[in-house]
Amino acid sequence: MSDSDLLIIFGASFSKHTGIIKARPTIQVDFDPLILGKFHAVTIPVWGEIGVTADLFMRELINDDPKVDRTHDIALHWEKWRTEKKKREKEERGKGINSASVFAAMTRQIPENAVIALDVGNNTYSFGRYFECLAQSVLMSGYLGSIGYGYPAAIGAWAGAPDRPIVAVTGDGGFAQYMGEMTTAVKYGIPIKHILLNNNELGKISKEQLKEGREIWSTSLDNPDFSKYAENCGAMGIRIHDSSQLDESLRQIFKHDGPAMLEIITDPELI
């Protein structure tokens, strides 16, 4: 962004989490007029439906050659980041699977037409770092801090799109908030494929405490075997401790006709 001549922002805001550079001319496009320029002044606000506006841009700019071809630079950035991800997949401390390996396997195994509901916490940040979306739809609660969102959101996604694969991605702390909803999925035959990253900790809170110079306090969790809980509810449950089990275990839950959980024991530091 720092090297660009113009930023065109579709459906994004300028909150402290977004990281949109403020020192460039900006066109902000949103279907909610109250969002335009709400957090930061923009050069040109455009009130419109994002897909329609993008089509208009493409139609008008189709014959305009860029002054500078950045294709090579972008390819180098992609290669650098993918090399870094591969490096992180090899990290091992004997305290659980690293997140880079988890989401690399998910990138390989989650169907392109899936709806993915994300919970709140380090699992969400790791998803953003490592998962490479193709045509999946992603649901998240933004920065509302609504821990526990993931599994109920997946139930809602199934109600809205029952013909698509539905995936829930949660941490252990998030799922524990609403773990009773698995009985709802079993009762109504809702085929949610639940990927649960269990690090026995409220990891995001631990990171925030350390960032503020505090000692880690009251973030450790004494969890049950969530895969056994899934089985007790009537769903499929698988628990793994080794990255070599990731792909086959993901294939198993997606083949299962009904709700299924893959509980992955993860390293709280390798996120």
pLDDT digits (tens, 9 = 90+) for 171-201: 999 899 899 999 999 999 999 999 999 997 7
Q: Contact 267/96 with Cβ under 8 angstroms? A: yes
Whether 205 shows a pLDDT value over 80: the answer reads: no
Do residue 146 and residue 20 come from a single domain? no
Do residue 44 and residue 99 come from a single domain? no
pLDDT in tens, 5-38: 889 999 887 766 666 777 889 999 999 999 998 8
> Helices 122-130 and 203-211: crossing angle, nearest 10°?
90
Question: CA 205, CA 106: separation in Å to the nearest integer?
Answer: 25
Q: State which residues form the domain around 246.
A: 92-265
pLDDT in tens, 116-158: 999 998 889 899 999 999 999 999 987 677 888 999 999 999 9
Sequence-ordered list of residues with C-beta below 8 angstroms from that of 34, at least 6 positions apart, any chain: none
Does residue 74 fall inside a structural domain?
no
Does residue 82 fall inside a structural domain?
no
Does residue 66 fall inside a structural domain?
no
What pLDDT, on a 0 to 100 scale, did the predictor assign at position 1?
76
Do residue 56 and residue 108 come from a single domain? no
pLDDT in tens, 38-69: 888 899 999 999 999 999 999 988 777 777 78
Structural domains in the chain (count): 2
Does residue 2 fall inside a structural domain?
no
Does residue 57 fall inside a structural domain?
yes
Does residue 76 fall inside a structural domain?
no
SS3 168: strand
Do residue 38 and residue 167 come from a single domain? no
pLDDT in tens, 101-122: 999 999 999 999 999 999 998 8
